[in-house]
Amino acid sequence: MTADIAPLLVAAAPERENGERPWQLALHRLWRRKAAVVGFSVVVFFIALAALAPLVSPYDPVATNFLLVRKPPSLLHWFGTDEIGRDVLARMIWGTRASLLAGLVSVSLAMMTGVPLGLVSGYVGSLLDAVVMRLIDAMLAIPFLILAIALAAFLGPSLTNAMIAIGVSQMPIFVRLTRAQVLSVKQEDYVEAARAVGNPHYRILLRHILPNIVPPLLVQATLASAAAIIAEASLSFLGLGQQPPDPSWGSMLNTAKNFLSQAPWMAIWPGLAIFALVLSLNLFGDGLRDALDPRRS
């Protein structure tokens, strides 16, 4: 019996082509997608900018100078100044931290809650699965951004509460995706073989099922990060995210809306930054999806 099942367990091991591991093949496929490489490069640039903000910021982002109110871009202030004389470039650089932090923390929170719930729901099935999915369907019936705004308003205005609200709002997506993948993978022969030789359920979940559903979760995490950045900017624009005087691209747009005719640069730069970062994450996510799925190559 064991001899018959052993080949099935071996089938769970990743296949290799030309002696390369699957992750090496995925990297090669990803490298051939120029749009994904460009997107990844832009994301790395923003990450470096956020990490090196104290070193590369030309001015204190909260320092005011009422002699330099709404000055256009110049050699001293490359991106101009805002309504109270603060350097726009400095606030842009420091605001990168809020956007990236929101993307990282909220998506991590959504995955830490959604993936285990989806794993258990899809694997156990029965009444537990029915109850969980009805709750998830109810949450998904509410538009993502509306749910995030409602939760942020309930929790109170702050960047931390905004990240929690975004994470909770994105959690149902990961539950549904994980459950769907588990329902597919748990019917595979190597999972049935692992169950037949007496492996405990937690070992089957962690060793045989979870590793085989990681690729779609990684792709979803990348795309969810882009959505989280837009959500954080929206909440900050509404006054529910990063609070003044700390800089945030969304709060900068909120201030700039009152000076669009007199100082358009106040809105142009944060708007372009949000556009560039979100587009880059989506390009990288699309390329990652193709690289991790050989059928799309």
> Which amino acid, one-letter code, is at 213?
I
Cα(209)–Cα(180) distance, rounded to whole angstroms? 12
> Which amino acid, one-letter code, is at 140?
L
Token pair 């749009």: residue: 35
The pLDDT of residue 290: 84
| Average pLDDT, integer, range 78-83 | 96
Tally of residues, the chain:
297
241 alpha carbon, distance to own chain's centre = 17
Quick one: fold of 20-65+75-296? MetI-like fold (1.10.3720)
Largest CA distance in the chain: 85
CA distances from 61 to 18, 84, 252 (A): 53, 11, 12
Cα(265)–Cα(259) distance, rounded to whole angstroms? 9
The pLDDT of residue 296: 54
Asked, as a colleague might, if the bond just before 245 is cis with ω within 30 of 0, I would say yes
Name the DSSP class of 60.
-
Cα(45)–Cα(41) distance, rounded to whole angstroms? 6
pLDDT of 4 above 60: no
pLDDT of 111 above 60: yes
* Residues 182-228 pLDDT 10s: 999 988 888 888 888 888 888 889 888 999 899 999 999 999 999 99
Q: pLDDT class for 6, splitting at 50, 70, 90?
A: very low
> Do 188 and 74 form a contact (C-beta atoms < 8 A)?
no
Closest CA to 166 of 133, 144, 139: 144
pLDDT of 297 above 70: no
Helix, strand, coil percent values for the chain (each to nearest 5) = 75, 0, 25
The upper half-sphere exposure of residue 213, i.e. CA atoms within 13 Å in the direction of its Cβ, equals 29
The pLDDT of residue 18: 54
List beta partners, residue 81.
87
pLDDT of 8 above 70: no
pLDDT of 1 above 80: no
The pLDDT of residue 26: 76
Q: Which two tokens stand for residue 97?
A: 């931290």
The pLDDT of residue 254: 95
* Residues 144-181 pLDDT 10s: 999 999 999 999 999 999 999 999 999 999 999 999 99
pLDDT of 89 above 90: yes
pTM: 0.89
* Residues 238-263 pLDDT 10s: 999 999 899 999 999 999 999 999 99
Cα(62)–Cα(94) distance, rounded to whole angstroms? 10
Closest CA to 173 of 215, 128, 113, 131: 113
CA distances from 14 to 90, 123, 150 (A): 47, 22, 44
Closest CA to 259 of 69, 77, 59: 69
Number of Cβ within 10 Å of residue 69's Cβ equals 14
Q: pLDDT class for 13, splitting at 50, 70, 90?
A: very low
pLDDT of 16 above 80: no
Q: pLDDT class for 25, splitting at 50, 70, 90?
A: confident
